[in-house]
Structure 1
Amino acid sequence: MDKIQNKFIDVRGLKLHLAEIGTGPKVIVFLHGFPEIWYTWRHQMIAVANAGFRAIAPDYRGYGLSDPPPEPEKSSFHDFLGDLLGILDALGIPKVFLVAKDFGARPAYLFALLHPNRVLGVVTMGVPHIPPGPSTFHNYLPEGFYLSRWREPGRAEADFGRFDAKTVLRKIYILFSRSEVPVAAENQEILDLVDPSTPLPPWFTEEDLATYGALYEKSGFQTALQVPYRSFGEDFSITDPIVKVPALFIMGSKDYVLKFPGLEDFVKSGKVKELVPNLEIIFLPEGTHFVHEQSPDEVNQLLLSFLSKHV
């Protein structure tokens, strides 16, 4: 961890934070999900740097150490895509591999569609490529489904606001490590699904939690609730949704996301390959939603194998 450097660059009027390790022309940009931050990629960044790659992991605008936008409630995936392009241009990087987790899969695949000349390959974990436009997977889940609750302005803010950032992160990491979809009862909030005495997952330490907690203490959750949860319906005017670059999808067999209606069939039937023809799919039998933190050695091996084939 000591070798990972932190830097700030000016992009589109904001100071964005990047964690970076390694040098050279072979570059990987890591895109985090929620409740993650750049730190979620610590194991992968060191592994790829040791293999000769330059690894860069930004905090999105409004997340962690990056500046918040002037109006967080108006943030969008368009902003994240513009920031990613701005980062590559500012650093003079012509082409990259994109490695993404959770909702980070959306900007990774959208960037590959909108800027195909800048992307060598895409690796995602926990979420496959879903066609641009409004997602329907959540439409068949009950009112207490966490995505529905967090899309409702003010609901998550009130839920999260009862606790400090570290406690919020503890509860969400425990919740998202389970194989059940988080669904609250009518008079219950999402964070109340986790009993305070529940231990952290064995692969996630109190030190890890403290790092996450400090970063979200700084940024708060305002932008994080806007993007992704309130931004899924954006129109990107993409006429051809077929991703041409090589891609890898790593999914834990115990990931709760597989229980979104229709999603497991979408992946296992091969329908996802209609959108990403050059896609390799790997399931990790014991994997949860955080496969890259839960089984870093296994994920690093899969990642390096993919990179060596397509570099």
Structure 2
Amino acid sequence: MDKIQHKFVEVKGMKLHVAEIGSGATAVMFLHGFPEIWYTWRHQMVSVASCGYRAITPDYRGYGLSDPPPEPEKASLIDFVTDVVAILDVLNISKVFLVGKDFGAPIAYLIDILHPKRVSGIVSLGMPFMPPRPTHNSLPEGFYCSRWKEPGRAEADFCRFDAKTVVRNIYILFSKNEIPIARENQEIMDMVEPSAPLPAWFTEEDLAIYGALYEKSGFQTALQVPYRSMHKPPVNIPDLKIEVEAPTLLIMGEEDYVFKIPGLEDYIRSGEVKTFIPKLETIYLPEGSHFVQEQFPDQVNHLILTFLSTHS
């Protein structure tokens, strides 16, 4: 960890934080989800760098150590896509492997769709490629995405606690195999008892690092992207060929709550997802949660390194 270097890259007047380790000719960029920041990829960065790759992990605008966007309430997924490509340009990286977790995976997919010559391959964790379509309509009102999409609802819920406690509660909820759905008169944060333990693979030291970074950034941009912008098409999709051309590895934990979203498990297991990603391989990790990269780092590192060596 102490060999990971930190720098800031200026993009559109914002200073975006980038963690980096390794000096290999082949670059691997890691894209985090929520409630994560660059630190979520600590195990993977060290692993790929030790095998001769250059590992790069940004904090998106408004996340971690990066500057917030000038108007956080207007931020969109395509802004993050544009930022990632701009970071590659500043670092003089013409082609890259992308590893995306949670909503970091759609960012990787969009980069391939919009800039296919820049992508050598994609590894996605916890989130398959999803074509533009209505989602979550069959889930109850207490579904966490629905609650967090409502302006002011999450802010009022979160502000009762410090940032460390908010991250703690989300990690506990998201590491279970059931979709977080609150009762009608219950807030999402109240779904976790104060005495509930952290997952065994997530330490108090890890939590302190996350908490400090969210104390700095707050949750405003994180609530906007992905939750409050997810219903808006990130680009003019009808003008695009909706297909991911790059070879792609999808890693899913068998106990990931995402499988409980109506229709998603069948979409993945039936192979329908390959309609949009012809060069897709899917691997399931027994007992894996939504955070397999932190829960089972050795297994995930092996899968990533095998993919990289196969497609480099």
Same-fold status (TM-score > 0.5): yes
- C-alpha contact (below 8 Å) 1:287/1:295 kept by paired residues: yes
Q: Secondary structure at the match of 1:218?
A: helix
Is the 8 Å Cα contact of residues 30 and 100 (structure 2) preserved in structure 1?
Answer: yes
Deviations 1:25-55 (A, max 9, x none): 2001100000000000000000000010000
Matched residue, 2:150: 152
Report which stretch shifted further, 181-190 or 230-239: 230-239
Confirm or deny that 1:115 pairs with 2:118: no
Normalising by structure 1, what TM-score?
A: 0.98
Give the aligned partner of residue 281 of structure 1: 282
Per the alignment, residue 14 of structure 1 pairs with 14
Alignment partner of 1:233 is 2:231: yes
CA offsets, 1:216-274, max 9 Å, x none?
00000000000000111333123211111100000000000000000000000000000
Taking the aligned partners of 2:300 and 2:209, their CA distance within structure 1 comes to 22
Aligned to 1:46, the other structure's residue is in SS state helix
Tell me the distance in 1 between the aligned counterparts of 2:243 and 2:71.
33
Provide the C-alpha distance between the structure 2 equivalents of 1:32 and 1:5, rounded to a whole number of angstroms: 18
Q: Structure 1 CA distance, aligned partners of 2:9 and 2:244?
A: 29
The equivalent residue for 1:209 is 207
- Identify the residue that residue 77 of structure 1 maps to in structure 2: 77
**1:259 alignment partner in structure 2:** 260
Partner of 2:91: 91
What RMSD over aligned residues (CA atoms) do the two structures have, in Å?
0.7
**Equivalent position of 2:250 in the other structure:** 249
What corresponds to 2:187 in structure 1? 189
Cα distance in 1 between the residues matched to 2:194 and 2:154: 18
Runs of 4+ aligned residues of structure 1 deviating over 3 Å after TM superposition are none
Deviations 1:165-186 (A, max 9, x none): 0000000000000001000011
Query: Counterpart of 2:263 in structure 1: which amino acid?
Result: G
1:48 corresponds to which residue? Answer: 48
Greater mean alpha carbon deviation, residues 281-290 or residues 226-235: 226-235
Is 2:292 aligned against 1:294?
no
Contact 2:24 2:49 in 1 (8 A): no
Contact 1:137/1:262 (CA < 8 Å) preserved in 2? no
Q: CA deviation at 1:85?
A: 1.1
Give SS of 1:92's match.
Answer: coil
Structure-1 residue corresponding to 2:126: 126
Unaligned runs of 5+ in 2: none
Distance 1:33 1:138 in 2: 19
Give identity over the alignment, percent. 67
Query: Which deviations, in whole Å up to 9, do the C-alpha atoms of 1:257-292 show, x marking residues without a partner?
Result: 000000000000000000001000000011000000
Q: Does structure 2 conserve the Cα–Cα contact (< 8 Å) formed by 1:38 and 1:57? A: yes
> Unmatched 5+ residue regions in structure 1?
none
Task: Look up the SS of the partner of 2:136 in the other structure.
Answer: helix
Q: 1:256, 1:289 within 8 Å by CA — same for their partners in 2?
A: yes
Distance 1:126 1:191 in 2: 22
Return the offset for 1:307: 0.5
Q: Does structure 1 residue 139 correspond to structure 2 residue 137?
A: yes
Please tell me the residue identity of whatever aligns with 1:52.
G
Paired position in structure 2 for 1:105: 105
